[in-house]
Amino acid sequence: MSLTRAEAEKLVRSWGFSHVFTWTDSPKYHYNPHSHSSLTTHLILSGSLTIAYPTKGQVDAEKETFGVGGRIDVDANQVHEVWIGEEGCTYVIGE
């Protein structure tokens, strides 16, 4: 997938998301378990990220890694944890 930032943001808007922006994380960044109040989507433009959906008290939730072109939807109030890949990650977020 080789979309420009503008093309990728337009695509995410076409999926029904009104708040759309591009975000870049540093290599090996980690987001502790958290949730959002509404459905979110993430379209990866460069790099990779790994996501897990831990349940309360769970130590080793199954992880899934996504690279360029990957789309990750996270349901409202779904607890998730994220690890950014070695090269960082740039992705379009839709809320």
Residue with tokens 């459905």: 39
Mean pLDDT in order along the chain per 10 residues (95 residues) = 91 98 98 96 98 81 94 96 97 98
Residue with tokens 């922006």: 21
Residue 50, domain CATH: 2.60.120.10
Domain with 24, as residue range(s), is 5-94
Q: How many domains would you assign to the chain?
A: 1
pLDDT value of position 57: 66
| pTM of structure | 0.91
Q: Per DSSP, what are the bridge partners of residue 38?
A: none
**What six digits make up the tokens of 26?**
């540093």
Buried b (16+ CB within 10 A) or exposed e, 14-51: eeebeebeeeebeeeeeeeeeeeeeebbbbbbebbbeb
